[in-house]
């Protein structure tokens, strides 16, 4: 059973977190007619934290904002604003959208596990509670504020890092730096999972390709060589056969490179054999996912 990874805290510039996340999602937002704007502080907004976990929080909040602005009637702009500021000893990252906002009776429960305002099948109700926990573990606070002119704003508040070390930034473009570049295939119906895996591995120069169809994934697995395949355990090939079973039938050699993502109610230990695929829990803990990937790459 995969244990919880130890977060690696270092100096992180929230401006860089916003920039990196924006690059990952801007094309998808343009396809949906959503305007993404950034208002970044002119000076570094540095905190002590885990860059991957902070990026996961931002991805979760942007994903919620995307779902909110899709409710904006046709003909009106759909907008998401990301901003960073520093107030004395406090670093702030805001995610604002011009969607319908949150009903007053729902606001007190936003960060409660399994609470969701989405239609059945569209959300687990864990994204905001997970984000709240990650921000709290960084000594900060995740809060919600209604927007007077309509919409919603989520605010991440963290202590400013006072150390002398320079912030460790993600590379502006994939670089090898003597490390092997890996090919990663993600098989999952959730676009948020695609964004998260890309956010975790593309800064290291790895190539990530994500598909939502088991049939397409089977074809790609046979056509190309993959260093890592991450597949949701609920994906099916055909009417009933699990995708992972179908994959191992046609490509048995990928067994050692396959990671199966299990939903929260599955027992990882009881469903993992010594020679079977590795397993991780969903929603992903970024540190765990990186750890299991390193095991596969070795």
Integer Cα distance of 50 and 62 in angstroms: 19
222 and 271 assigned to the same domain? yes
24 and 145 assigned to the same domain? yes
116 and 213 assigned to the same domain? no
Cα dihedral across residues 275, 277, 279, 284: positive or negative: positive
* 142 φ, ψ (degrees, to nearest 5): -105, 125
53 and 86 assigned to the same domain? yes
Cα 13 to chain center, whole Å?
18
219 and 88 assigned to the same domain? no
How high is the pLDDT of residue 122?
45
35 and 133 assigned to the same domain? yes
pTM of this prediction exceeds 0.75: no
* CATH at residue 198: 3.40.50.2300
> For residue 172, is it within any domain?
no
How high is the pLDDT of residue 177?
45
102 and 234 assigned to the same domain? no
Integer Cα distance of 196 and 201 in angstroms: 9
Please list the pLDDT of the chain residue by residue as tens digits (298 residues): 343 444 568 899 999 999 888 877 777 787 788 999 999 999 999 999 988 889 888 988 998 888 888 878 877 889 999 999 998 899 999 999 998 777 666 666 677 764 455 544 444 445 687 888 889 999 999 998 888 777 889 999 999 998 754 444 444 433 444 456 889 999 998 887 888 888 788 777 788 888 888 888 998 898 888 999 999 988 888 766 889 999 999 999 999 999 999 876 555 554 444 556 899 988 787 888 888 998 998 8
The domain boundary residue, chosen from 159, 174, 196: 159
Q: Which residue segment(s) compose the domain that 98 sits in?
A: 10-159
Domain count, the chain: 2
Integer Cα distance of 125 and 282 in angstroms: 12
* Contact partners, residue 193, CB within 8 Å, separation at least 6: 186, 210, 232, 261, 282, 284
């Amino acid at each position: 059973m995969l244990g919880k990874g130890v977060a690696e805290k270092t100096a992180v510039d929230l401006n860089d977190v916003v920039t990196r996340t924006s690059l990952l999602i801007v094309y998808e937002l343009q396809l949906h007619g959503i305007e993404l704007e950034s208002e970044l502080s002119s000076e570094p907004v540095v905190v002590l934290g885990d860059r991957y976990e902070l990026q996961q929080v931002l991805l979760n909040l942007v994903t919620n904002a995307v779902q909110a602005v899709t409710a904006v009637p046709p003909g009106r702009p759909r907008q998401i604003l990301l901003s960073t500021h520093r107030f004395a000893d406090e670093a702030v990252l805001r995610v604002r959208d011009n969607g319908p906002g949150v009903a007053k009776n729902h606001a007190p429960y936003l960060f409660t596990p399994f609470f969701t305002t989405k239609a059945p099948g569209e959300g687990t109700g864990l994204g905001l509670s997970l984000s709240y926990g990650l921000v709290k573990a960084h000594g900060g606070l995740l809060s919600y504020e209604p927007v007077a002119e309509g919409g919603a704003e989520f605010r991440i508040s963290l202590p400013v890092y006072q150390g002398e070390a320079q912030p460790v930034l993600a590379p502006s473009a994939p670089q090898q730096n003597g490390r092997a570049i890996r090919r990663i295939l993600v098989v999952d119906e959730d676009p948020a999972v695609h964004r998260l895996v890309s956010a975790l591995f593309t800064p290291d120069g790895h190539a990530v390709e994500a598909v939502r169809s088991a049939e397409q994934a089977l074809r790609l697995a046979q056509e190309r060589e993959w260093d890592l395949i991450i597949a949701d355990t609920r994906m099916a090939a055909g009417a009933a056969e699990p995708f992972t079973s179908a994959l191992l039938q046609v490509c048995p050699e990928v067994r050692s490179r396959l990671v199966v993502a299990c939903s929260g109610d599955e027992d990882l230990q009881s469903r993992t054999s010594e020679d079977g695929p590795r397993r991780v829990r969903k929603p992903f803990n970024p540190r765990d996912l990186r750890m299991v990937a390193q095991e596969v790459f070795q």
